[in-house]
Structure 1
Amino acid sequence: MTKLKDLHDKWYKNDPEYAAEYDALEDEFALASAVINARKQANLTQEELAKKMETTQAQIARIEGGKMPSMRTLERLAAATGTQLKVTFESVPK
């Protein structure tokens, strides 16, 4: 059985359109990963985090799945996980 990672690696290497689309989602993947890490470091389940944020577990799952949250939601998430939200703009190499 072919593993998903093997398919991704093959497509990324051999299909420029796939690679470009995947790369375009990099920021969303990074944000989702940061949210998951903050929740886990706070030792919270999605349900527990949702209660602290006064939202639903489904909303937390959507954010962790890549849905882009608002700044207000990110601020509430930081408060609920005992973390500090930082937004930066960095130069892009030319």
Structure 2
Amino acid sequence: MTKISTLHKRWLKEPSYKKAYEQSRVEFEISKEIIEARMKSGLSQEELAARMQTSQSAIARLESGSSLPSMRTLAKFAQATNSQIQIHFKPIKTPRQKITA
């Protein structure tokens, strides 16, 4: 069986896949963080749902990355997983611009 990471690397060579991935990058990164935090807390989707007073299917949707969660949902998630929210903005790597005086 092929790992998804291997397929992802292969698919990134295709312009249409790469474009779609880049357009959804934030959702994918948040989804990855959510899944990792749940797993580190040792909770199943069902256990997390109970702590957040929601359904297991809502947790599955949250982890799917299909849409961005609200800050309220993220706050409930952080409390349920005994974690904290941190948001960082990183500069995009671009060629250095010459400064002329």
For Structure 1 versus Structure 2, the TM-score category normalised by the shorter chain is 0.7 to 0.9
Is 1:61 aligned with 2:60?
Answer: yes
**1:91 corresponding residue in structure 2:** 91
Task: Show structure 1 runs of 4+ deviating over 3 A.
Answer: 2-11
Which TM-score applies when normalising by structure 1? 0.83
Secondary structure of the structure 1 residue equivalent to 2:74: helix
Deviations 1:42-72 (CA, angstroms, capped at 9, x unpaired)? 1100010011011111110001111321000
Query: Taking structure 1 as reference, are residues 89 and 50 closer, same or farther at Cα in structure 2, changes over 3 Å only?
Result: same
Which structure 2 residues correspond to residues 73-84 of structure 1 after superposition, within 5 A? 73-84=73-84
Taking every aligned residue pair, what percent have the same amino acid on both sides?
Answer: 40
Deviations 1:10-53 (CA, angstroms, capped at 9, x unpaired)? 4431x322211112212111111111111111110001001101
AA paired with 1:38? A
Q: Single out whichever of 37-46 and 22-31 deviates more from structure 2.
A: 22-31
Query: Taking structure 1 as reference, are residues 43 and 93 closer, same or farther at Cα in structure 2, changes over 3 Å only?
Result: same
> Residues of 1 paired with 2:7 and 2:36: CA distance?
26
> Residues of 1 paired with 2:38 and 2:11: CA distance?
32
Matched length:
92
Which structure 2 residues correspond to residues 37-56 of structure 1 after superposition, within 5 A? 37-56=36-55
Structure number having the greater helix percentage? 1
Return 5+ residue gaps in structure 2 as ranges.
95-101
> Residues of 2 paired with 1:4 and 1:77: CA distance?
28
